[in-house]
Chain A
Amino acid sequence: MASTSQCIASLARLSLSTSIRPTNATIPRFLAPSIVQTRWKSAGTMAMRAREREKEKMKRAKKQSRFKEYKYATPSQEERHSLCDAMRYLRAAEVGRPPSSVTYELALKIRTPKSSPVLRNRIRLPYPVKNDTQIAVICKEGSGAMHDARAGGAVAFGEDSLFEIIRANPNKLPFNRLICHVDSEPALKKANLGRILGPKGLMPSIKTNTITRSVKTLMHEMVGAENYRERVGAIRMPIGNIQFTPNQLAANVKALVTMVKENIANMEDRVKKDLVEVVLTSTNGPGFSLNGFFNSTDEKVQPAHLSTAM
């Protein structure tokens, strides 16, 4: 509601400024006081404000909950391929490339909350992709474990001597796997090597299954074994040489998928994860979502056709 003083003020301004800025309005301003009136949104009652706040909160919660999981998509049945079909395409895509630079790779897409423990384990594939594992063993000098390490073909073993090697040349270690006997764990802790080994992922720990009672069995398990780990809702891993036959590749894929499923089942009481999709790809090829079947849809193409030298 405009007061009389405002009306007079506007009138005064009008008389002062007509020469400079003529108004378009045909009605004098003092006759239409609603023009000067400004409106304010009322703050509302307490209940109204509370309701407003509640709404705002809901909105924020909705926004956050949308991204609690990594994105995933389930492909339709037409988008999935049998193993032999996928191999046929991939072998065509990789023709003429040296096999040393090309591998089949598998990506297991997992539906998982972002804030959950990741899947990680070690797998020994039926047909190893490459074999350049060199193991070093931390064990008491002259113990039975040391004997086992020597017999198992470890490249380095011992306690203080091994720590010395690691400290002396941290950027060029002669091994790419490091395991530790339970008895030597205190010595390892004392040696304070976490700063060197940690970033390389070599630090033995119970979590990564690299501290053991039996060096012998662990070494046997590790030779030709590959570590895998879930990253951003997917496990990616080389699964085969490009020269593998369909049967060899199928065995490897099956081994990995069953292992991961087992891992997920073991975690079930703590966190819920699902294996959404299995994608086969190669170094330079496209990715194929697998449907779990083996034979090609084109009955002219037998597994024998895909077993020949590239």
Chain B
Amino acid sequence: MVNPGKRMHKLQALLAIRHGPGSAILPPEITRIHMDFAMKWNDGHLGARKFWKNCLRNLKYWNPAIPMIVNRTTDQSSPAKMSIYFRQAALDSNTPSALATKLSQLPLAQQPHSSTSNEHPAPEPEEGERVVTIDMKNVHSDDILNEFMSKTGATLVEPTPDEKVEMRQLEELNEKAAVDRAIMKKYIDDKKREERMLALARQEADAIKMAND
């Protein structure tokens, strides 16, 4: 994108990755997060899907070292489940867990990764790990987030005053855009209607001419 003004607005949208539902720092005990649900949203998988789309990226931004794997299946009747893996002893939060480091040493093809064909179902906990699961089937994404927050004990990240100002500006910009869009839509609609009328009139004229010939 070349237009510098447009580019600035796009970059401001990075705020959406930084702040939003799920922007929280997880405690150091958590080693990895695993989500299992179906490809489509019917049969109660909508909440899980929305959680992934709206909350998980904020969570990933604030916890870049924690593997978050989304394993989806084509089977809509499968359960929708989130597994959160805790290690027993809390370590220093500034280093990624030994397990995550070990996983990242593997060749790329063997690393656990997100999948759309049920390649990596939730693994068994390693030694010294315990699993907390959240049932996400037929649950709203907000409720999933609430449950997730209470079960993990994550601390929310508040936007700084500068970011708040930026957010407000962005909101104002969006409002202005909506107004401008409405004006533009009216203009285009009017133009289209006129064109349609003209075409109709021309058609009629042609028909009359044909009848006279």
Contact = CB atoms under 8 A, between A and B. Distances in A.
A95 B57 contact: yes
B138 interface: no
Nearest to A245: B104
B11 interface: yes
A308 B96 CA distance: 8
A310 B113 contact: yes
B207 interface: no
A245 B108 CA distance: 10
Interface residues of A, number: 31
Interface of A: 71-73, 75, 79, 88-89, 91-93, 95-99, 241, 243-245, 286-287, 300-302, 304-310
Contacts of B35: 96
Contact of B113 (A91, A93, A243, A302): A243
Nearest to A87: B64
B121 to A, nearest CB: 14
A308 B69 CA distance: 12
11 contacts: A73-B4, A79-B7, A95-B60, A95-B70, A96-B114, A97-B70, A245-B104, A305-B96, A306-B64, A308-B66, A308-B67
A271 B65 CA distance: 46
Contacts of A306: 64-65
Given A73-B3, A286-B10, A308 B100 contact: yes
Interface string B33-75: 0010000000000000000100011101100111111100000
Given A75-B7, A308-B64, 7 more contacts: A95-B52, A95-B60, A96-B35, A97-B114, A98-B113, A309-B67, A310-B113
A99 B113 contact: yes
Interface size class of B (residues with CB under 8 A): 35 or more
B112 interface: yes
B65 A92 contact: no
Given A89-B17, A95-B57, A309 B8 contact: no
B118 to A, nearest CB: 11
Given A97-B114, A308-B103, A309-B112, A92 B2 contact: no
**In the complex, the 9 A-B pairs of residues with the closest C-beta atoms, listed nearest first:** A96-B70, A305-B65, A92-B61, A308-B100, A95-B60, A92-B60, A309-B67, A71-B2, A309-B103
B208 interface: no
Given A305-B65, A308-B103, A310-B68, A73 B7 contact: yes
A287 B1 contact: yes
B113 A75 contact: no
A96 B2 contact: no
A73 B5 CA distance: 10
A79 to B, nearest CB: 6
Contact of B115 (A98, A300, A304, A307): A98
Contacts of B116: 98
Contact of B60 (A91, A98, A307): A91
A304 B14 contact: no
Nearest to A96: B70
B212 interface: no
B7 A93 contact: no
B111 A243 contact: yes
Nearest to A88: B64
Contacts of B7: 73, 75, 79
B65 A73 contact: no
Interface string B103-145: 1100010011111100000000000000000000000000000
Specify which of B57, B70, B101, B113 lies most central, judged by the most chain A CB atoms within 10 Å of its CB: B113
B160 interface: no
A287 B6 CA distance: 13
Nearest to B11: A79
Interface string B6-23: 011011011001000000
A98 B103 CA distance: 17
B57 A304 contact: no
Nearest to B3: A73
B58 A310 contact: no
A102 to B, nearest CB: 9
Contact of B111 (A301, A305, A309): A309
A73 B8 CA distance: 12
B95 interface: yes
A106 to B, nearest CB: 15
Contact of A310 (B61, B69, B94, B101): B69
Given A91-B64, A305-B64, A309-B111, A286 B14 contact: yes
A243 B14 CA distance: 21
A307 B108 CA distance: 11
B14 A89 contact: yes
B57 A92 contact: yes
A304 B10 contact: no
A54 to B, nearest CB: 34
